[in-house]
Structure 1
Amino acid sequence: MKDSYEVIVVGAGPAGVAAALICRKRGYNVLLLDKKKREKIGDKVCGEAISKKTVLKAMEKLSIAPPLEEEIKAKIEDLVLRTALPKNHITFPAIGYMIDRHMFGQRLLQEAIKSGVILKDQYRVKKPIVIDNKVSGVLIKDSEHNSIEILSKMVIDCSGTMAVVRTGLPQEYEPNLNKKVTKADFAPCYREIIQLNHDHDLEGKIVLQYEIDIPEPGYIWFFDEGEKRLNCGTGFIKQGKHATKSVKSVYFNALEKYFPKGTYKTIDGRGDVVPIRAP
């Protein structure tokens, strides 16, 4: 393995792959690192909704085809905000797609590899390497727990919520740069894909249902995933009086009001964390 690259990108999600592709198209030698196995890259707990305008613009810039028919689970037209009062609904136009995030992510990854980006999967970045007050690479651990230093002229941190490169910087580096991640910066969440025993009335919609019993930001989501199928979930900041509250319990209590047990089966149910703070 080479020990030096022009660019290292940490994280092979959509942002990381896009950064790697753009750098590669400009002629740089690019190493893309991800802690997941190659075949698992792109598999993420999320709502899976993307804006059509945004994704078309991004794919055009990257010279990649927009979401393919087999990657699209449903076409979205409206974002609906709902409360406990049935008449107090606000609807916004939200033209977009519900996508198979794993399939879409794998295609983006293949495009990056095809362009010449070097992927190293199952490599966990431990911290940045700083030389003469400049980020000059990363220290990683491979799948066999060997520590390896990899140097580069540029490091791009696309590692997600926990920002492993930024949070590993010494305090004296760029004093105005926020290098800490606190509990207020992310929200644990729980999401399920459910198959209903009956039709739903949410075709073309992504719905944020606000409930008084759900801590801030206060909603459970219901996103159309096609015939009789929904992407549902909730999440909140676990601080103060909510610090020990179970996200799964809050989710199931809220779900029961709209889709009681016995009216659906769970296709996939998993937890994760989502970022709250600005980039």
Structure 2
Amino acid sequence: MDWEKVKNLVKMALKEDIGPGDITTEAVIPKDLKAVAFILAKEEGIIAGLEIAKLVFQTLDPKIIFKKLVKDGNRVKDGQKIAEIYGNARKILSAERTALNFLQRLSGIAALTNEFVQKVKPFKAKILDTRKTTPGLRLLEKYAVRTGGGKNHRLGLWDEILIKGNHVDLVGLKEAVKKAKELEKKVEVEARSLKEVKQALEAGADIIMLENMDLRIIKEGVRLIGKRALIEVSGGVNLDNVREIAKAGPDWISIGRLTHSVKSLDISLRIQLNKN
């Protein structure tokens, strides 16, 4: 994790929420009031982002004590305490929403990822994410996928070659692979039909993505490719069909919905006076 980038994200998020000041809290809460707060899970799921939540509170006030009661990757139950927070009441309240926003979204991603991971056992297929992430939050969202037991696909356009349909439509599949191989990196090709699967094999692609194919075509694509390339399946994958897709024998299954349409985990904060 690049913590300098995370720190900048946290500062930006706090500035967005607090702006020139939390006028309600400053008006009604005494300046030096001490409090203890508890972060609670309101549904079962996988936790991710506790260090980010801690960073939010301590960015606003380094004196705040943040005590984790579970670890990232742990499964929690409805009503379970996740963390305890001790410190200035104003600062805790002002940081609350930002901390929960990070924690809820990342935990939602981890929880959904883990559902897919459990579905594909005992098959060899690994669950991967995509670049369909929230702008600015890719680093954190891909961390959440790993926390849920998934694997990261490419982080951006710079680290892996993936020839997509739009590239093919402009220059042709074989020509695209030929040019990409000049970079001396592994080349992945998105194949939208069995015809493109055959072309990708002839061109020497290292990885072939079976894109938006039904199960019958996926099975045929896996048979055609055999061990001549790694096989990825993407498009139209959900919790109802992922097991059958994994059973067909691909190496990877990439799922955009892990990050682009995930439901945040329901998590809340409760606060009370610290009488100690």
After TM superposition, the score normalised by the length of structure 2 is: 0.27
Structure holding more helix per residue:
2
User: In terms of Rg, which structure is larger?
Assistant: 2
Name whichever structure is richer in strand by fraction: 1
